[in-house]
Chains A and B, each alone.
Chain A
Amino acid sequence: MEFLIKIVYILIFPGLLFSSVFGLWLAGIDRKVVARMQRRVGPPVLQPTYDFFKLLGKETIVPSCAARHTFLIAPYVGLISLVVTALFIPIGGLQAFGGMADMVVVLYLITIPSLAMIFGGSASASPFAGVGVSRSMVAIMAYELPLILVLLSIGRAAGGTYVTFSLERVTLYQQMFGSFLFDWRLIPAALAMLLVIPCEVGAHPFDVGEAETEICEGPLVEYSGAPLAVFKLSHAIKMFIMTALFCALFLGGISTGMLWLDVVIALALCSVVTLICMTLLHAITARLKVEQVFKFFWTVVSGLALVSLILVWFVD
């Protein structure tokens, strides 16, 4: 029985099926709302789903000088690690798998999709991919530091006298003492996290690695057919994972007593966070340069996170 429940967790909720459907839906409303903000009608909300299925039906071309196996396996590695991440993030208090230090696990796992893209891009032997790969690496270095600082401040705030790395404890703490978003010490960290999300997902204005108009989507330049579909799906799931992580870290204090209602509220909050940190930013900004992204994240965003960390450490 327990085994069956685990299978349901992994394959249906909140694993593969649910995160795909919800991620594609998030990507759909993102595109729709961006279009509305630009006074366009915009594509239907199901557009990313259509894109995904269409790409499944296309021919897969592997360039003759590419490293064939790495090229074909990389997208699936990214997808699997994202699905595993979804199992560790509490959605409205529902956490499929937990542990003492699941925050560290999540921190490692959400880097893997970007790495998979880097491996796939390098394997495709295209100069455009080469440029995209080097830019993606800079972007990863840029957002990792503030992300770790944010997680440290949350851990300290939830742990009291020590730093906790358990997302379950963070959720329990918030359910007892209120969400961290309304804790004044953690507001700078929340702002930093809102800026980390688009960079991690690869959304405007931080999409240096996948700049479509400059370097033809960087690492994805040689991909076609099913592997490209999986990369697009991973991108959509990443939106879900990162917003769900934000909700778990900063808005975890909502508990109505009914688990399903908590989950629905958490998913609604995910959509709102997507609209704020990805759609709004996409509509009002242009792409930054690589060095600008790096500088911005290591000064402004890390600074915000650091302020929170210091406040949490020394102010009660």
Chain B
Amino acid sequence: MTPAHVTVAGLTIEAQTDDGSTLVIVDDVSFSIEKGQVLALIGESGSGKTTIALSLLGHVRPGARIVGGSVRLGDQEITALDMAQLRSLRGNRIAYVAQSAAAAFNPSRTVMDQVIEPALAHRIMQRPAAQAKAVALFGALGLPNPGKIGERYPHQLSGGQLQRLMAAMALITGPELIIFDEPTTALDVTTQIGVLQAFRSAVRDLGTTAVYVSHDLAVVAQMADHIVVLNKGRIREAGTTDQILHAPRDDYTRTLMAAARPVPTTGPAESDTARPLLQVDGLTAGYGKVDARGVPAIPVLHDLSFSLQRGEILGVIGESGSGKSTLARAIAGLLPPARGAVRLDGRTLPPGLAGRCRDQFRQIQIVFQNADVALNPAHSVGEILRRPLAFYHGLRGTAADARVAELLDRTRLPGTLADRRCTDLSGGQKQRVNLARALAAGPDLILCDEVTSALDTVVGAAILDLLAELRQELGIAMMFISHDISTVRAICDDVMVLYAGHAVDQGPRSAYAAPPSHPYTDMLIASVPEMRTDWLPDGAGALALPPIGGIDDSAALCSFLPRCPSRITGRCDRAFPPHRQLLSGNAILCHLEEHELRGSRQHAEAR
């Protein structure tokens, strides 16, 4: 057996808390990686995975310190190095790829300048040589137009492209060890797949040893040879990827696996054909001035129509920028629609906030994604919950206190939380308070805007269970907005797929289980990583699309045309696609006939 390339032995890291006590954040962690292998550190937030990854760079965050153990790269002890020695190591022999590439690039310099900076800083290469190597890396990472992309500025590039450029920056010095810290967590699934492919082929081709930090087992399964499962700073289980995926030994690993694949729940069976609770007709909304035809200057949503029965959950899915959140804001009245009507219980709602009566406000409650900014940090949990009680129901004093206790109990929060400020709570607890506030109003419809996206898998799964239970017991209808099609398919009765503000695919959940569906839906489904190691196809992530003649920008065409793998010259580039009702029950916006779409799903899956 060859000696390990990276060895971590008995690593223990402590941090000082605000009240002066010490907290062990990494507890006696040992693992080793052989040269050219990829090791994944997996765990929830607070598991110490990033702290361990940073310690490989010889870095600990302010307030924390390494109290024991060793970190060795080759035969060098990293914990024993001083600042100058570490500086010559970082970005040279060890490189780091951070989670948010958008925040890691300097917006005022071209990407080429930034990508070759490590090579120049360590005096490894002259500028022309470094630029040539960068261009080669851009090509290897599947970036479009590798020769020219370096001249652009970060704001001109997409998140997925920046993440690849960040990898190019890490690889430019030919490091022995590269650390990926949740590099695809902030990306859409459709973007993630290409970035993962690019990372994997680059790391394999160069024979670099890599550490991949993530909370997502399915993503890790594509990348890693070995997996270390962490919880609260301790190693729960370590083994090869196949062993962890197929024969997990530890209970915690099994919990993680279970949370990653939510179990489908069913709603109330009653098929209530009476008046729908929410009916949306021809909704068009956006920002800027509205023209004579009722189209805003920057349209976000185009002509959406759907309805929602009492006690039903409608899933709205799409990637960032598809208009999902705008839809919730338009229904809540925060963004008055330019055209179209929203009917609640048969009555047409006034478009904006002005003119809605207090009871209409009460019926629709909105729950935002990020509980950190959705809860006022100046108020205690009790104050936050008491306000809607007083505002809608006139509850005060002991009656309100009793109801607050009941709400906390219903959302599985300890009653003692009422006096605490929400800044003291964990992410999952905050999201529960966020839900409890919506429940306090006694609503008929809750608009859930990505409520689980910012949470760890296990915590998010618990929130999903809570939502299903609330719908079951209280009969509250929900609009569940998400970018994760597996979550949506698990809890929703109906699903609407948004692409660039168009509802490209609409139908009952069952219709999504089998083809055919809209090519974009196929792409979304095919992009969700599966828990097997051979899921991710090889290649640099750039997939070839069927060629299409010059697209006429002036005409209104299918919005998915530029990315569609099933597009057909002569049909798709002529006119706006028609609404098409499929046999399985979904309505799609596509030129293709049903039998042609069947082929497209197989095409997407074969990739």
Q: Do A and B come from one complex?
A: no
Residues of B within 8 A of A (CB): none
Residues of A within 8 A of B (CB): none
